[in-house]
Structure 1
Amino acid sequence: MCSMLDNIHERTSIFRNLKMDQKTLLTERIQGTETQMMQVTRDMKLKIHNMVEEVEQKVSKALNEEIWRLGVLIDEFNMPFHPEPLVLNIYKKELNSHVESGLGSNLRARLSMALAMNVEAAQREMTDRMYTLVPNEKVVVQTKIATRTQPFEMLYSLNCQNLCADFQEDLEFKFSWGITAMIQRFTGKVRERNKKGPAQLLNRPSSIGNLSPSTPGTDTPLCLIPRPVGGITQEQLSVISRFALASVGSQGTVGGLIVAGIMLKTIGWRVLLGVGALYGCIYLYERLSWTNSAKERAFKSQYVRHATKKLKMIVDLTSANCSHQVQQELSSTFARLCRLVDNATTDMNEELKSLESQLTVLESNQKQLKLLRNKANYIQNELDIFENNYITIN
């Protein structure tokens, strides 16, 4: 009986040692999984951050280039044009749809394939690194859970209908050599020179610094000194433009007669008549050239300027939206993989608890076996004493 109990105790000890080894290995694996999980999480967060910034820069650059080529896209719009308001409203709606679909298709052709490949490569890297943390027997079972069924596709929301809804065209005929047009052209050039003037003066500080103290200009602040650019100051320009526009307005006839009289005395009536005839021919040519095709070209040119200004306002918003889509896609994939690893870790913790309960039962059984073995040894000793005292003597 004692030998049988010893045999049972020995086998129980071997089984307990085996379970202890399994518990040690499982504990080390859980700790290693948690440590590697923290490292992978840091690496993947950094990778997602860098990829999001890269996507935002690429989308911003591509959208700016497409906006720069917006005129080519609008020239491809071939819907019949008519200046009637009702037809023009339909034309603008269709043009907005054409621009939105054209920009979207161009951006998809330039970016979507490369971005999808980068996203898939990042997802594969995540999957490979996370699967190393999962036991082999659970990888095949949980692969379908972490795999995305649909490929990633970038969405570009431009919404040109609302963006260009405030566009107002101007299709009235304007003579390019008219007095108003020439004055506006002249004032625009002078204003451009005036904008460049302060920059040129800032690049020459020595000319201001060399003024002697006795110079009268030193008593007046530099900001109050009129700076002539091209021989005309800003005050003179405003006076000239106001006078010219006034002469074109209510007193245009009197001003025209005065100018005509001066030119008649100076250059003669024949030259003046020839210049007037040439001027009238140019006006007539431009007026006859103001057809529906010319109006359509003017409309598209105005629309290009308006749409370019509006689209540039949403470049940052669109690029941020695209980068957010990439971030959401990668974050959701990483979250699914983290859930897979968490499930595997939970299973290992459950297995660890099961091992601990088994070890508790084995230790309890070992104690009972020791107690029974001690009792068996005591009984065996008592029997041996009884046999020696009473049976062997007789």
Structure 2
Amino acid sequence: MKIETQCLHEGYKPKNSEPRVMPIVQSTTYVYDKTSDVADVFDDPTKSLIYSRFENPTTDCVEKKIAALEGGVAAMCTSSGQAASLLSLLNILQAGDSFISAATIYGGTINLFAYTLKKLGIECIFVDADASEEELNAAFKPNTKAVFGETLANPALTVLDIEKFAKVAHANGVPLIIDNTFATPYLCRPIEWGADIVVHSTTKYMDGHAVQGGGVIVDSGKFDWANGKFPEFTEPDESYHGTIYTKAYPFAPYIVKARMQLMRDFGCYPAAHSSFLLNLGLETLAVRMDRYCENALKVAKYFENSGMCESVNYPGLESDKYYELGKKYMPKGTSGVISISIKGGRDAAVKFMDALELASNEVHVADIRTCVLHPASATHRQLTDEQLVAAGIDGGLVRFSVGLENVDDIIADIEKGFAAIR
């Protein structure tokens, strides 16, 4: 199925006489024939490229590809997934505003929302990811401007009911932002379930090879920014020639504003070479995701039947609490990440991990190589005990990211870990 997308400008389009591999445009600047041409582009950034702090031809190609994959109208890449989450919210929030977020999200994002944004005068209201519509509605305040959640939570592996969250967000006149990192658009396209903005850490499955850090924000083009709650889209932007984004760029006012305000000021744009590497990962995404899901389901069943785990969280298991939601939103599979809680708690979990040989103990996930992490000691170390519980994390929890190796080899490695704690 061909998905038509409207982007900021036409950008680079390969021709028959040009290389099949996407070129790396390793340049910070672009040359114009006349001074008036430069002025024209600053008046209307959709006409051409300005500077590589805003946009780059190589990255532009990747942005168009990801927008199409997610079914959005435009996308903007960032230097990390954290930058994508931050800018997705700063684009619509300011001091004195609040937003709602599911509590079971990535630990770094919790810290960003609960502490860093608080210093900027923005309040995050955390809610249970399984909250009812009534409970979600009760969390709203007059100054609430957005709702945020993860398709598949990292590392709790809860599945967000995107349709329910979208219904409540829209009833309150605000957009739903979904972090779709673990699912990728191959397994789930949140926009089709009502999400308005989608973000990713492209460092994970989209890249797949652990060779570059990056993020992306995708604009669905469907939210009504002129509903009265977001005057920054409907009133002149004094920092940019008095532009009214909903009038000047009706097809994607959100992403244009994000680029011309926030990317201009923060400059967290990826290098061309990083985008080139990301594109290589995207070209094998569908093949890899099928293998991740296949391997992970076999490994999850092994964990479940081992007798060594207090619990095994993987939505692909029929015994999992989120099995039905997983089938609804991710019918092709529920990615390659499994969360297990080892019997014996923290000490046993650490011994298990240290005994593994094939699996790498590293601060990463969603790689072609199997890797493990102890969240309470690493990614979620900064959280309080109460926040750990809210995020679905205990001392024995191990995040097990299944790679593309032979699944029998992965299971044999797990058996070595279990042997160390029997």
| TM > 0.5 fold call | no
Higher relative contact order (CA 8 A, sep 6+): 1
| Larger strand share, 1 or 2 | 2
| Larger helix share, 1 or 2 | 1
Which TM-score applies when normalising by structure 2?
Answer: 0.18
Which TM-score applies when normalising by structure 1?
Answer: 0.18
Q: Which has the larger radius of gyration?
A: 1
